[in-house]
């Protein structure tokens, strides 16, 4: 295939899975490289900056925990946007995007929960508190797992995509309600005894590594997402070929 045929001339060209796979193949090494560089810089910054006078060395967990938590929400937003693409524009790549974002988003959410728990032990003296944030993220994690399970349970990819798109969107609409209700519930049961993070202004000393790490995590997300989408397209091609082979044998 010549270079010119790979050029993306308009948004609709992106809809063509063949073009997408070719483009993804060209982008992936660069994106992966960028991710590696950002992680190298970010991790160096993480371990060279000063420790917090109050929290000590444990503050370094924040550089993993906070970006992971951000990405857990971005992952769901990517899924919601893709779900909209599936239902409204019937974009052939949108369902692939939504399906592939779920495990990655769930991974980041799990990372945020685990690092949060590791951070909570020295800070709060317990592995888990039913803090409003932790609880909301935990519910988000459950929603991710439910959607992954749903996708695995259905054999027809197109049907699975539409049905899960409905659920993703309803979940997306529901997230503010869940957040609000959990906040309500939390203030009812635990009147402001829990240390709240991010409430105070963060010193630039901590902010710089945090932002670099956030960027690195975002790049990692898109690298993984792109790779997963390419794999999924190939997987569907193989499935289609197998079905054709079965029918070819039947009519022979």
Partner 1 sequence: MTALFLRDLKLATRAGGGALTGILFFLAVVAVVPFGLGPDLKLLARVGPAMLWIGALLASLLGLERLFQAEREDGALDVMLMQETPLVFTVFIKCLAHWTASGLPLVLVSPLLGLFLNMEPQAIGATMLTLLAGTPAITLIGAMGAAVAVALPRGGLLVSILVLPLVVPVLIFGVSAAYAAVEDPAPFLPPFLILIAITLFFAVIGPAAAAVALRAASE
Partner 2 sequence: MPFRLRVDGLGASRGEDPIFREISLLLEAGGALLVTGRNGTGKSTFLRTLAGLYPADSGTILIEGGTDPTVPVRESLHYLGHRNAMKRDLTVAENLLFWSRFTQATDDVAEPIDATGKTVQALEAVGLGGLGGLPFGYLSAGQQRRAALARLLVAHRPVWLMDEPTAALDTASERMVEALIAGHRATGGIVIAATHQALDVPGAQMLTMAGFAVPA
**Which residues of the chain form contacts with partner 1 (CB under 8 A)?**
87, 139, 142-143, 145-147, 149-150, 153-156, 158-160, 162-167, 169-171, 173-174, 177-178, 180-182, 184-185, 188
Give whichever of 55 and 181 is closer to partner 1, judged by the CB atom: 181
Q: What's the chain look like in SS3?
A: CCHHHHCCCCHHHHCCHHHHHHHHHHHHHHHHHHHHHHHHHHHHHHHHCCCECCCEHHHHHHHHHHHHHHHHHHHHHHHHHHHHHHHHHCCCCHHHHHHHHHHHHHHHHHHHHHHHHHHHHHHHCCCCCCCHHHHHHHHHHHHHHHHHHHHHHCCCHHHHHHHHHHHHHHHHHHHHHHHHHHHHHHHHHCCCCCCCCCCCCCCHHHHHHHHHHHHHHHHHHHHHHHHHHHHHHHHHHHHHHHHHHHHHHHHC
In the complex, the smallest distance separating the C-beta of residue 159 from partner 2, rounded to whole angstroms, is 10
- Our CA dihedral for 86, 87, 91, 92, rounded to 10 degrees, sits at 50
Give whichever of 48 and 251 is closer to partner 2, judged by the CB atom: 251
In the complex, the smallest distance separating the C-beta of residue 137 from partner 1, rounded to whole angstroms, is 12
> What phi-psi label fits residue 50: left (phi over 0), alpha (psi between -120 and 50 degrees) or beta?
beta
Would you count residue 240 as binding partner 2 (CB under 8 A)?
yes
Q: Any residues with CB less than 8 A from the CB of 236 and at least 6 apart, and which?
A: 96, 157
In the complex, the smallest distance separating the C-beta of residue 45 from partner 1, rounded to whole angstroms, is 36
**Binding to partner 2, residues 97-126 (CB under 8 A):** none
* Contact partner at residue 245 from partner 1, partner 2, none, CB < 5 to 8 Å by partner kind: partner 2
**Binding segment (CB under 8 A) for partner 2, from list 116-124, 141-149, 180-188, 237-245:** 237-245
Would you count residue 238 as binding partner 2 (CB under 8 A)?
no
* Contact partner at residue 160 from partner 1, partner 2, none, CB < 5 to 8 Å by partner kind: partner 1
Sign of CA dihedral 130, 193, 111, 35: positive
In the complex, the smallest distance separating the C-beta of residue 240 from partner 2, rounded to whole angstroms, is 5
Give whichever of 1 and 252 is closer to partner 2, judged by the CB atom: 252
Would you count residue 157 as binding partner 2 (CB under 8 A)?
yes
Would you count residue 201 as binding partner 2 (CB under 8 A)?
no
Would you count residue 239 as binding partner 2 (CB under 8 A)?
yes
* Contact partner at residue 3 from partner 2, partner 1, none, CB < 5 to 8 Å by partner kind: none
Would you count residue 26 as binding partner 2 (CB under 8 A)?
no
Where on the chain is the footprint of partner 2 (CB under 8 A)? 156-158, 236, 239-240, 243-245, 247-248, 250-252
């Amino acid at each position: 295939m010549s270079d010119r045929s790979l050029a993306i001339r308009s948004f609709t060209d992106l809809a063509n899975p063949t073009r997408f796979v070719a483009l993804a193949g060209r982008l992936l090494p660069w994106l992966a490289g960028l991710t590696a560089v950002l992680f190298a810089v970010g991790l160096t910054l993480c371990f060279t900056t000063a420790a917090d006078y109050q929290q000590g060395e444990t503050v370094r967990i924040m550089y993993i925990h906070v970006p992971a938590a951000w990405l857990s929400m971005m992952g769901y937003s990517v899924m919601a946007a893709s779900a909209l693409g599936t239902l409204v524009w019937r974009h052939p790549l949108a369902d692939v995007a939504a399906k592939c974002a779920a495990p990655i988003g769930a991974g980041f959410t799990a990372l945020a929960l685990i690092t949060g728990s590791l951070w909570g032990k020295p800070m709060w003296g317990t592995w888990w508190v039913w803090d409003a944030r932790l609880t909301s993220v935990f519910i988000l994690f459950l929603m991710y797992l439910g959607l992954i399970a749903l996708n695995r349970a259905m054999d027809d990819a197109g049907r699975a995509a539409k049905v899960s798109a409905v659920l993703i969107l309803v979940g997306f609409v529901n997230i503010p309600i869940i957040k609000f209700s959990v906040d309500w519930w939390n203030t009812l049961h635990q009147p402001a005894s829990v240390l709240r993070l991010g409430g105070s202004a963060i010193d630039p000393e901590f902010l710089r590594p945090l932002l670099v790490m956030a960027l690195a995590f975002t790049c990692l997300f898109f690298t993984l997402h792109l790779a997963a989408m390419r794999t999924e397209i190939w997987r569907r091609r193989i499935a289609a070929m197998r079905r054709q082979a079965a029918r070819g044998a039947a009519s022979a």
